[in-house]
Amino acid sequence: GINAEYGQPELFKMVLSSLLFPNLPKVLGVIERKMSSIAVTKLLTEADTMISPSYAPLWPELLKTQLALFDGPQGETQEESLQQQVSEFPDDADDESLGHQFSALYHSTKLSLDPFADVKDAKVFFAASLQKRSLSLPGQLSSIIQSTLTADQQQSLMVILKSAGLNPPYL
């Protein structure tokens, strides 16, 4: 499993609460969102620390963050982001060489390859991983989900599970 407490105790809680939870849904780019979702899925389903008593209150918050990542706008791709930056660059820049340097940098940028190409759909990966984890913790995840997620969040989760071909009541 994943050991989230290797190093300074409580530091990972702070990272989750202050960095990951508020910022993850803001991630832009299809590949970047997919990578983020896979990382969160692994934390939710493979990190025993996340279901330990000291982290148990953060597990549903991480699940809510995952749902927000799935439900949020997919955002712009890296290419669209760079095009936006170029369009905002002033045409009448005082330093002509700066414009040429930026143009060279823009055109030299390569789009990143998908490091998780074997995961075709992050939602299906999430659903399958959650099912596997749920089977190893009978009734525990179901109780957490029902007591901490809003009706809308529960509905979003059920849609994801059904779209992955899973029967939601297993939780």
Write the pLDDT tens digit of every residue in 95-128: 555 666 666 666 665 556 887 888 999 999 999 9
Whole-number average pLDDT of the chain: 81
Phi, psi of 148, deg, nearest 5: -120, -25
Measured between alpha carbons, how far apart are the two ends of the chain, in Å?
21
Comparing 161 with 117, the larger pLDDT belongs to 161
- Nearest of 67, 3, 2 to residue 36 by alpha carbon: 67
Please determine, for residue 75, whether its predicted confidence score (pLDDT) is greater than 60: no
For residues 103 and 107, give the distance between their C-alpha atoms in angstroms, rounded to a whole number. 6
The DSSP line for 8-55 is STTHHHHHIIIIIHHHGGG--SHHHHHHHHHHHHHHHHH-GGGGSTTT
What are 31-47's pLDDT values in tens digits? 999 999 999 999 999 99
Q: What is the pTM of this model?
A: 0.73
- Nearest of 35, 74, 62, 56 to residue 153 by alpha carbon: 62
Q: Which pLDDT belongs to residue 8?
A: 74
Task: pLDDT band for 4, please (50, 70, 90 cuts).
Answer: low
Burial class (CB in 10 A: 0-12, 13-18, 19+), 141: buried
7: left (phi over 0), alpha (psi -120 to 50) or beta: left
Q: Which pLDDT belongs to residue 171?
A: 60
Q: Which pLDDT belongs to residue 11?
A: 87
Place of tokens 């007591």: 147
